[in-house]
Amino acid sequence: MDRFVIEGPTRLEGELEVGGAKNAVLPLMAAALLARGDSIIQNVPDLHDVRFFMTILEGLGATCSLVGGELRLGTAEAEGREASYDLVRKMRASIYVLGPLLAFQGEAFVSLPGGCAWGPRPVNLHLEGMAALGAEIALERGYIHARVPRGGLRGGRFRFEPVSVGGTCNVLMAAVLARGETVLENCAIEPEVTALAIGLRDAGAVIEGIGTPTLRIQGPVTLRPLQQTVIADRIEAGTFMAGVALAGGRVRLTGVDTVHLDPITAVLREMGCAITEEPGAITIAADGRPVATEIITRPYPGFPTDMQAQLMAVCAVADGTSFISEGIYADRFTHVAELQRLGADIRVDGARATIFGVPKLQGAPVMASDLRASAALVLAGVAAEGTTIVNRVYHIDRGYECIEERLASLGARIRRESV
């Protein structure tokens, strides 16, 4: 098991290219199952979650290779219909194969995903959406058993409540092969969802309203294999921006879509960061303590929940009292106790955290728990005085490629140790 050893405080200076978005790659990988042939996806980061999803697809009979950011998925022999508990329990996004298997194979056996570090993660919207397309859904010994009715899936109407990124992706992938018109309302419009819809449309799907909360799909179609380049990871970019706000310095990030960063940029500017934008790049500079802020996490284009932990680390050293309400998940605060070990003064009341800014954090051993909470602890360690040890960094490797090398290239004193 690896851990990071971080000596602080250091400032972050330099330039970094942001990688492809994990949360855009995974649904595109699942969508490859909707066509026969070789899908090619470019700008793919080499992440544990991507490698793991490749394993899932290989278990279904697909061939997968990832070389130099190019992911090739061959589905000519992909006849499998089951995603086992042993796989799905390790990565919730495995459920993305449900829609494509149901629509393309006519039947799917997918284990119900477990919870995660911060609580239950229901999939009722995925199932209700498939049922709206005529699917017969049964829960059997911890598995979702989904079958298409005689004649295949048929177009239907479904409204997501609440907004669901995964639910939108899964039901959209099933709907493109359904016979007739499907109308999906209150869809997620995260850039990663829009990227999936664009990928499907480029492969022959008939989808109107892409980028809006209402998607209108005409089917069935025969999809061509996907050919897509993955959008930049707005959460990875935001994480490095939060690092500069927290530790101080000046960093230019390239390969980004600045529009996707708007909700994050707005908050960090309010906190006193100087941020300049240019086509495909963003530069953030910060000195001294950030200004306290108040945010509620919301579906896009609101402030992203996947940046909540990182922002809380910034608020921990802000000049004043900040308030963070988690509007998406009831209890996504596993990072609070660990930030408190570093000297942060935080009080949690339900889904709302009050952060009393302190001048400096103090290095200490801490425990990573989930992907984004772990990233927040690493950023806090860069800014803290003394040595911070972040244990269980496999959480971070799921969604950040070589984060220690990238932070070190900006001046952080961080090394990985195997223990």
**Cβ proximity to ligand EPZ, 52 vs 329, nearer residue:** 329
> Which region, judged by CB under 6 A, interacts with ligand EPZ, from 52-60, 163-171, 200-208, 385-393?
163-171
Comparing CA positions, the residue from 84, 24, 4 lying closest to residue 395 is 4
User: What distance, in Å, lies between the first and last C-alpha atoms of the chain?
Assistant: 6
Binding mask 120-159 for ligand EPZ (x = CB under 6 A): -xxxxxx---------------------------------
Give CA–CA dist 20/121, Å, rounded.
25
To the nearest whole angstrom, how small is the minimum distance from the Cβ of residue 109 to ligand EPZ?
Answer: 18
- Determine the 3-state secondary structure of 389 from DSSP: strand
Helices H / strands E in the chain, number of each: 14, 24
To the nearest whole angstrom, how small is the minimum distance from the Cβ of residue 174 to ligand EPZ?
Answer: 14
User: Which H or E run includes 103?
Assistant: helix 98-105
| The only residue of 306, 326, 397, 404 in contact with ligand EPZ, by rule CB under 6 A | 306
**Cβ proximity to ligand EPZ, 213 vs 272, nearer residue:** 213
SS3 content of the chain, % helix, strand, coil (to 5): 35, 30, 35
Interface with ligand EPZ includes 377 (CB under 6 A)?
no
**Cβ proximity to ligand EPZ, 266 vs 358, nearer residue:** 266
Task: List the catalytic residue out of 116, 169, 187, 273.
Answer: 116
Any idea of the CA torsion for 191, 231, 235, 68, to the nearest 10 degrees?
150
Counting every residue written for the chain, the total comes to 419
| The only residue of 372, 391, 395, 414 in contact with ligand EPZ, by rule CB under 6 A | 372
**Cβ proximity to ligand EPZ, 169 vs 176, nearer residue:** 169
Instruction: List binders of ligand EPZ among 387-406 (CB under 6 A).
Output: 399
- Determine the 3-state secondary structure of 89 from DSSP: coil
Q: Is residue 253 within 8 Å of 237, Cβ to Cβ?
A: yes
To the nearest whole angstrom, how small is the minimum distance from the Cβ of residue 273 to ligand EPZ?
Answer: 23
Helices of type H across 138-230: 165-175, 191-202
Ordered strands of the 321-325 beta sheet: 294-296, 321-325, 352-356, 345-349
To the nearest whole angstrom, how small is the minimum distance from the Cβ of residue 35 to ligand EPZ?
Answer: 21
Q: Output the residue with the shortest Cβ distance to ligand EPZ.
A: 166
Give CA–CA dist 339/314, Å, rounded.
11
| The only residue of 305, 310, 369, 391 in contact with ligand EPZ, by rule CB under 6 A | 305
To the nearest whole angstrom, how small is the minimum distance from the Cβ of residue 278 to ligand EPZ?
Answer: 27
Written as one string, the DSSP assignment of 104-145 is HHSEEEEEPP--BTTB----HHHHHHHHTTT-EEEEETTEEE
Interface with ligand EPZ includes 166 (CB under 6 A)?
yes
Give CA–CA dist 18/206, Å, rounded.
31
| The only residue of 6, 62, 165, 380 in contact with ligand EPZ, by rule CB under 6 A | 165
Total binding residues toward ligand EPZ, as defined by CB under 6 A? 23
| Token couple for 252 | 């230019």
To the nearest whole angstrom, how small is the minimum distance from the Cβ of residue 279 to ligand EPZ?
Answer: 26
Instruction: List binders of ligand EPZ among 184-203 (CB under 6 A).
Output: 188
**Cβ proximity to ligand EPZ, 206 vs 367, nearer residue:** 367
To the nearest whole angstrom, how small is the minimum distance from the Cβ of residue 313 to ligand EPZ?
Answer: 15
Interface with ligand EPZ includes 26 (CB under 6 A)?
yes
Binding mask 54-93 for ligand EPZ (x = CB under 6 A): --------------------------------------xx
**Cβ proximity to ligand EPZ, 180 vs 302, nearer residue:** 302
Q: Would you call 116 a catalytic residue per the annotation?
A: yes
Q: Is residue 105 within 8 Å of 150, Cβ to Cβ?
A: no
Written as one string, the DSSP assignment of 342-380 is TT-EEEEETTEEEEE--S--B--EEE--SHHHHHHHHHH
Residues engaged in binding ligand EPZ (CB under 6 A): 23, 26, 92-93, 121-126, 162, 164-167, 188, 305-306, 328-329, 371-372, 399
Q: Which residues are catalytic?
A: 116
